[in-house]
Amino acid sequence: METVVFRNILLSSAALALGSTAAFAQDIVQSKSSWYTDAEAALNQRLEHQPNTNRAKNVILFIADGMGVGTNYAIRLYAGQQNGEYGSEHVLPYEAYQDFPNVALVKTYNINAQTPDSAPTAGSMNTGVKQVFNTINLSENAVHNECASEEGNKLTLFSELMSEMGKSVGVVTTARITHATPAAAYAKTANRNWEGEAPEGCTDIATQLVDQMKAGVVDIAMGGGRRYFLPETVTDEEGKKGRRKDGHNLVNEAQDAGIQYAWNTETAKALNLEGDTPVLALFEDSHMKYEHDRTEADEPSLTEMTKTAIDYLSKNDDGYYLEIESGRVDHANHDGNAFRTVTDGVEFANAVAAAAAMTNPEDTLIIVTADHEHSIALNGYCGRGSPILGLCYDIGKGQVKHADEPVLADDGKPFTVIGYLNGPGAVLKEQEDKSYSGSRPDLTEEEAEDSEYVQQALIPMSSESHSGEDVAVWARGPFAHLFDGVIEQNYIFHVMNHAANAE
Amino acid sequence: MMSQAPQVFSAVTKPDYGGVMPNEILIDRRTLLAAFAAALALGSSRACAETLRMRDLYNKDLSFSDLAQKMENERIEVRGYMAPPLKAESRFFVLTKRPMAVCPFCETEAEWPDDILAVYTKRIIDVVPYNVPIIVEGRLKLGTFEDPETGFVSRVRTIESHYARD
């Protein structure tokens, strides 16, 4: 309807002769609707927006592992519904135009993988080139799991470039600090699983982190993964055994080199954040707890780690590069447990909001993105306000809220809004004769919203898989406007590097 | 208790059928509950009034809940999933609160969650797929215990346990 009206105006010779635009008095019935005026306000915001071409003193790269556009949608609705909204109308901190005005879609594939993994994806953001499946920061000539192929194929990292410019570097994650995404900020390896042990001639990832800290490249590293810093013979502060076979106690070695160490909330609070003494904080034997399972006394949240890292790094007048990963949005998706996917996702959003509040867009480029999506999918047709973790309710008559009755499938049973294409929630179960068959179980709202519920899936797989679907990138600060259109993931490095070096 | 409903609980042990388990021997939850009800009617001392979840036994900091402390040495009923057994022909398995998915790209070796329940059975277990919900009934034991046979260390267990598909 609007299009027709618009065209009629343009076709009017009188209007053209007067040099009018479409902005002059149009007769649009719906123009008083809040949908209409809200969208007009959004238009005006964009018309007034001026690109920021300052040099970026600081660059913060936020990565929610496994948070493609679909997973982000689930997090948005969950955050909104927790806030008393229907959900769809909710705006996450990095989705607000006034705060993060620039967005692009990101193609995440690896050189040899249509469905990517977290190692080469994070590597591409840290080096500017696509990489090989399951490798980190090696050229296209590297071969996965072949130690010898590391030689001559190691790439230059954004962290190293920033360190050379006098900036400080931080790495924060809720996964093991040696896991793929954080490792991509400081390590180079032919196998992402060489976290605490590598073949002769190659260096494991934990050792690479301590080496990069001793070399002055990495200044603060916080996450989980103590096991790969301690020898097998050592039991850590929480009663778990180390995994290193080479006998090296990297925690002791780091401390001997003047690096501060923390392992729980209390010791983290005691850290000196004046910016002169590097920090290694390892809060768990393996990954840190999901936000839902975490206790304040045991370990800090992603938001608290983010604040600590920015507090530390901002002491450097030359600026900093900080990579922050929410590592377990991905793990919960792998488990087919949408509850922890969205609860960790909301904590990720909180961390972004905290970083935005502590920094100035005039000098700090903040990028919010994901490394890849999952085989998560959304069912329909659900009425407004259908609980994102619960059942899909019918569309209500007379607006706005959903009807009281769940939508029933052809088998007469309700279904959840979120489903997975594959994973442990598969309705096809192994039978005694090893064949697979099954039917969808009955489901109540209470069961579906339970924190341990695993959404129904189709294809039986013990771990739900990544997918090759696009992720989004949101950005603010210097040269954030270079995020536009549909981009390759390795382009993210180029914006960061351009912003940090702009004249 | 056992003697009051042996025909039900023996169903999940592995009797000598020449390796073949007749389908009808696999009982469902309703049958099991009916058996419990019968047991109660017969004056059983079974203390649990409802099926517990793993999280009812643990606090978030992994200390034992008040309920767990109260129920120690009592027979309880817990819902969960059978993790793929550590070894075949076992009288022991691990109950997890969610299907224990193993992510090939996340983990270099099996990662046992902290909040598990070790289940010791009277008979050699009949493996249930890791993603089929089951209900375990057994006597609750608290405190660190290292299995002399497998070396598996558990903090909370049920002994003399039986289980059935939920």
pLDDT at position B107: 53
3-state secondary structure chain B: CHHHCHHHHHHHCCCCCCCCCCHHHCCCHHHHHHHHHHHHHCCCCCCCCCCEEHHHHECCCCCECHHHHHHCCCEEEEEEEECCCCCCCCCEEEEECCCCCCCCCCCCCCCCCCCCEEEEECCCCCCCCCCCEEEEEEEEEEEEEECCCCCCEEEEEEEEEEEEEC
A193 contacts on B by Cβ (under 8 Å) = 108
Q: Which domains, from first to last, does chain A contain?
A: 58-371+471-501 (3.40.720.10), 376-464 (no CATH)
Complete domains list, chain B, with CATH: 48-165 (2.40.50.140)
d(C-alpha A462, C-alpha A456), whole Å: 13
Which pLDDT value is given to residue A311?
A: 98
**Per-residue pLDDT averaged across A36-53, rounded?**
96
Confidence label for A175 from pLDDT (cuts 50, 70 and 90): very high
Amino acid at B112: W
Kindly report the average pLDDT of chain B as a whole number.
72
pLDDT of residue B83: 87
**What is the model's pLDDT at position A423?**
96
Over residues A254-282, the mean pLDDT reads: 98
pLDDT: which is higher, A163 or B149: A163
d(Cα A178, Cα B107) in Å, to the nearest integer?
12
Instruction: Give yes or no for residue A102 having a pLDDT over 60.
Output: yes
Query: Which of A110, A135, A238, A432 has the highest number of chain B CBs within 10 A, making it the mutation to test binding with B?
Result: A432
Nearest residue to A189 (alpha-carbon basis) of A156, A229, A142, A228: A142
Q: Which of residues 96-115 of B touch A (CB under 8 A)?
A: 97-99, 101-106, 108, 111
Does residue A15 carry a pLDDT above 50? no
pLDDT, one tens digit per residue, over A439-454 is 999 999 999 999 999 9
CA atoms within 13 A on the CB side of A407: 20
What's the whole-number average pLDDT of chain A? 95
CB contact under 8 A, A430 and B129: yes
ipTM above 0.90, yes or no: no
What is the pLDDT at residue A70? 98
Q: A322: which strand partners? A: A60, A170
pLDDT of B48-93, one tens digit each?
458 999 889 988 888 899 999 999 999 999 999 998 877 778 898 8
Contact (CB<8Å) B101/A462: yes
Which tens digit of pLDDT belongs to each residue from A320-369? 999 999 999 999 999 999 999 999 999 999 999 999 999 999 999 999 99
- Strands B75-82 and B153-165, sheet pairing: unpaired
Average pLDDT estimate for A47-75: 97
Contact B105 A118 (CB under 8 A): yes
- For chain B, positions 38-77, list CB contacts with chain A under 8 A: 53-55, 60-61
* Residues of A carrying an active site annotation: 118
Distance from CA of A317 to the nearest CA of B (A): 37
